[in-house]
Amino acid sequence: MKIKSSEFIISAVGPKQYPEDGLPEIALAGRSNVGKSSLINRMLLRRNLARTSAQPGKTQQLNYYRINEELYFVDVPGYGYAKVSKTEREAWGRMIELYLREREPLRLVIQLVDLRHPPTALDISMYEWLSHYRIPICIVGTKADKLSRNQVPKHGKIVRETLGMPKGQPLVLFSSETGMGRDELWSIIAQAADI
């Protein structure tokens, strides 16, 4: 995938602000700090287009990025961040659920998990929820650079087993630091978005 253009479009707080041009959307989901914004930057070869932070919970809206006038990446607020109020958390939850269940141009949810550790209870319930609603999923195990070369496939296997992923479902072993998995993920995205 050749990146000709990539731009931030909007931090949407609700459906009225979602783009109306009908371009396919690829959502990035996963718990706070797992590396969603970093993955977007690596995929787009941009250092700081999506804001990353060592402090979790920074992304609190649906952030839209348009690529090559062809598709959108949608950075979804991280789940599992404890330091926001219950009311706030519930409001995000509703917005995200509605987006994931009813957004017509949504083609694929890329769910990120930290490859260093087995998926958490929250990761599992997110995965089960997406599966239940038959939303197309690609799992990305990220921060692979923090593991040794021979640990990477072992941890991949643990992710597959813990989530109970069916055989044909893709698991991409990824690193935003090194670019590992980037080409594979682009081909999955291009196929899902039909571009």
Backbone angles phi, psi at 78, to 5 degrees: -65, 140
Site string for ligand GTP, 50-79 (x = CB under 6 A): --xxx-xxxx------------------x-
Q: Is 35 left (phi over 0), alpha (psi -120 to 50) or beta?
A: left
Q: Which stretch binds ligand GTP (CB under 6 A): 30-38, 85-93, 119-127, 153-161?
A: 30-38
Dihedral through CA 194, CA 2, CA 73, CA 122, nearest 10?
90
Q: Which stretch binds ligand GTP (CB under 6 A): 36-44, 116-124, 161-169, 184-192?
A: 36-44
CB 19 within 8 A of CB 10: yes
Q: Which stretch binds ligand GTP (CB under 6 A): 32-40, 88-96, 120-128, 151-159?
A: 32-40
Nearest residue to ligand GTP, scored by beta-carbon proximity: 78
Closest distance to ligand GTP from the beta carbon of 154 (Å): 18
Backbone angles phi, psi at 168, to 5 degrees: -75, -10
Nearer to ligand GTP, 34 or 108 (CB): 34
Nearer to ligand GTP, 23 or 37 (CB): 37
Closest distance to ligand GTP from the beta carbon of 38 (Å): 3
Is 157 near ligand GTP (CB under 6 A)? Answer: no
Nearer to ligand GTP, 145 or 195 (CB): 145
Dihedral through CA 61, CA 138, CA 22, CA 64, nearest 10?
30
Q: Which strands sit side by side in the sheet containing 171-173, from one edge to the other? A: 6-12, 62-67, 71-75, 25-29, 106-114, 137-142, 171-173
Among 6, 23, 29, 36, binds ligand GTP (CB under 6 A): 36
